[in-house]
Amino acid sequence: MRGIVLAGGSGSRLYPLTRITNKHLLPVYDRPMVYFAIEALVSAGIDRILVVTGGNHAGEFLPLLGNGSQFGLKHLDYTFQERPGGIAEALGLAEHFAGSQPVCVMLADNIYETSIASAVRRFGTQGDGARVLLARVSEPQHYGVPVMEGDRIVRIDEKPASPASAYAVTGCYMYDNGVFEIVRTLVPSGRGELEITDVNNAYVRRGKLCHEVIDGFWADCGESFGSYLRAANLVASNGANRPAADR
């Protein structure tokens, strides 16, 4: 499996902190935000990782991350998203890197208390399709919200005014190699971007989307200043990417 860390975007919701740097280089307690996503992938046994970045500060990633040796990697790949075209467009840039392998995609502003290693192992037993991680949240209307029938996701609504559940689809997505074919079929949303929710709904329609609810906290650092502060406090109190018991 290949790992993909999506670290582009303008970071407008954290302005003016992002006026002179990329959002994912901001500190969260004791280390840069992007570290957590890379550490999560490495803790799951993934050692081939691509960092997708963009904007005016993309060059700042290389001196910080280098070849990934501080994470125990022998090599780290990079690519550049030329315009803010959405998460799914950024994912599409990884097609050559992924080759014929499945991928685990991490949004670089998402932090998990417990390791994703067991979820990655369970995805490996699926054979094909996709797997997403859900978290119970107090304000699901800010996120992609799964619509459930029993234990099955039948649709994901993006930032619905009236959420159908109290869960959010978090920023860790596992896909078979068919995801790049799906990305090529997408059309831009009303905000002019290719949406990752449309990718996930394509797997729903195929009956190929699995899910699980995470253990421990999930923090979306980039949603607001409040969420950024909450993430730092949670990491300070609980740590991140800690081993989790297998279900």
pLDDT digit string (tens) for 125-172?
998 999 999 999 999 999 999 999 999 999 999 999 999 999 999 999
- pLDDT value of position 214: 95
Confidence of residue 25 (pLDDT cuts 50, 70, 90): very high
Percent of the chain with pLDDT over 70: 99
Among 46-50, 116-120, 188-192, the range scoring the smallest mean pLDDT is 188-192
pLDDT beyond 70 at 247: no
CA-closest candidate to residue 6, choices 24, 19, 31, 32:
24
Statement: residue 7 has pLDDT above 90: yes
Q: Look at residue 135 and give its three-state secondary structure.
A: strand
- How many Å apart are CA 62 and CA 222, to the nearest integer? 21
Q: Residue 83: its pLDDT value, please?
A: 84
Question: Over 60: is that where the pLDDT of 70 sits?
Answer: yes
- Ranges of beta strands (E only) in the chain are 2-7, 27-28, 31-32, 49-54, 77-81, 103-107, 110-112, 130-136, 144-149, 152-158, 167-175, 209-213, 218-220
d(CA 64, CA 146): 36
The helix/strand/coil state of 65 is helix
- pLDDT band with cut points at 50, 70 and 90 for residue 246: low
Q: How far apart are CA 117 and CA 191, in angstroms?
A: 34
**Distance separating alpha carbons of residues 86 and 191, to the nearest angstrom:** 9
Cβ neighbour number for residue 191 with a 10 Å cutoff: 8
Encode pLDDT of 79-132 as tens digits.
Answer: 999 888 899 999 999 999 999 999 999 999 999 999 999 999 999 999 899 999
- Dmax over CA atoms of the chain, in Å, equals 48
Structural domains present in the chain: 2-238 (3.90.550.10)
Burial code of 123-149, b = ≥16 C-beta within 10 A, e = fewer? Answer: beeeeebbbbbbbebeebeebbbbbee
Q: What is the pLDDT of residue 245?
A: 63
244 has a pLDDT exceeding 70: yes
